[in-house]
A = this chain, B = another copy of it.
């Protein structure tokens, strides 16, 4: 259950960083959707390490191989199995971590929970696990395209460098023009410099990703325990290194009074419209047809290339210095993962919403 995401549309994922493969099964995917494999591969390329100087130097092809559920290029309604083979592991980079707990990593908790741990490359807790999510998200995007839903994420903060204007003031088509994936080219350059500087110090830095969902139909979301924003929050917080989620005005809500915060309805040429969208496209847990927007906080990656004191399994104190190739900042590569989780959530709730009436 813990490796399955979704209710109707589901992604079940498997794989460790240095195992044979990462993969998954997508179930509940609508029949009759044309699967553009180039699109899927391109989404993986956006997540891939080594795509710029800002990311880890690992070179992984990350080629997806679909094993079922697609016939003559079209989804059949049957489960879609897929694998991405692991080809570039340097497991020996992790030999010194075998019996040592890396600070702020899952090493200690996995060992306590399971009594056993595949330490190579972080095993299951590696960010490499998100490959499955990007595949699932790419397919979800293909299905959502049929109903006009568009999902766009971007880096909105690195360290204390913050994009402080609303997303509506940017042309979101330019996000991929810079390696940070920030729609403001000036800020993007500053973020880039910051990341490179931090990388040079062997250190890491966090930030936020913002995401916009446009064209979402009205009515998605199940009241009480299936609120759409709760589902999105759950999805985002399941991404490695995520520490917070907010939608609409979020943590800024308390700066305004109710009278300032409320979105007021009016009649726009015979159709009900809103003057503002402070709610972030969701009211009472249900989409209202406006843009859905939210923000996800990511902490600095825990693996730093500096010496850190820690303990081993027996509790002996030791000094750890990570080897290997690691991201100084998770942000640029988190962007497609945020989009993928959002796409899967929206598709799942779209399908669920079909069951509301006979």
Q: Is the CB of B79 within 8 A of A3?
A: yes
Q: List 21 A-B contacts (CB under 8 A).
A: A4-B4, A12-B27, A20-B65, A31-B356, A71-B123, A76-B124, A77-B113, A77-B114, A105-B284, A113-B219, A206-B254, A206-B256, A231-B234, A244-B246, A244-B251, A248-B299, A251-B251, A253-B297, A272-B311, A352-B355, A354-B355
Q: Is A308 an interface residue (CB 8 A)?
A: yes
How far apart are the CA atoms of A84 and B121 in the complex, in Å?
26
Nearest chain B residue, comparing its CB with the CB of A326: B258
Alpha-carbon distance between A33 and B356 when the two chains are bound, in angstroms: 11
Kindly state whether residue A183 has any CB partner on chain B within 8 Å: no
Q: How far, in angstroms, from A279 to B104 measured CA to CA in the complex?
A: 7
Q: Does A154 reach chain B (CB closer than 8 Å)?
A: no
Known interface pairs A69-B14, A234-B230, A283-B108; A204-B358 also in contact (CB < 8 Å): no
Rounded to whole angstroms, the CA-CA distance of A310 and B127 in the bound complex is: 47
Interface size class of A (residues with CB under 8 A): 35 or more
Q: Is the CB of A300 within 8 A of B261?
A: yes
Q: CA A75 – CA B259 in complex, angstroms?
A: 33
What is the bound-complex CA distance between A113 and B76, given in angstroms? 10
Q: Is A137 an interface residue (CB 8 A)?
A: no
Contact A254 B14 (CB under 8 A): no
Contact of A224 among B3, B107, B159, B353 (CB under 8 A): B3
Q: Are A286 and B110 in contact (CB under 8 A)?
A: yes
* Minimum Cβ distance to chain B for residue A192 (Å): 16
Stretch at the interface among A39-47, A49-57, A169-177, A263-271: A263-271
User: Given the complex, which residues of B lie within 8 Å of A205, measured CB to CB?
Assistant: 254, 257-258
Q: Does A117 contact B (CB under 8 A)?
A: yes
If A13-B79, A14-B25, A253-B298 touch, whether A106 touches B243 (CB-CB below 8 Å) is no
Q: A81 contacts which of B15, B299, B300 (Cβ < 8 Å)?
A: B15
Q: How far is it, in angstroms, between the C-alpha of A277 and the C-alpha of B123 when the chains are bound?
A: 24
Whole-angstrom distance from the CB of A40 to the nearest CB of chain B? 16
A98-117 at interface with B (beta carbon < 8 Å): 101, 103-110, 112-117
Q: Is the CB of A207 within 8 A of B254?
A: yes
Contact (A218, B113) CB under 8 Å given A79-B13, A104-B262, A356-B31: yes
Chain B residues with CB under 8 A of A266 = 309, 311, 317
| Option from B223, B247, B254 in Cβ contact (under 8 Å) with A208 | B254
The reply on A249 being an interface residue by CB < 8 A is yes
* A165 in the interface (beta carbon within 8 A): no
Please name all residues of chain B whose beta carbon is closer than 8 Å to the beta carbon of A258 when the two chains form the complex: 203-205, 299-304
Q: Is A21 at the interface (CB under 8 A from chain B)?
A: yes
CB-based nearest B residue for A257: B203
Q: List chain B residues, Cβ under 8 A from A262.
A: 103-104, 302, 304, 308
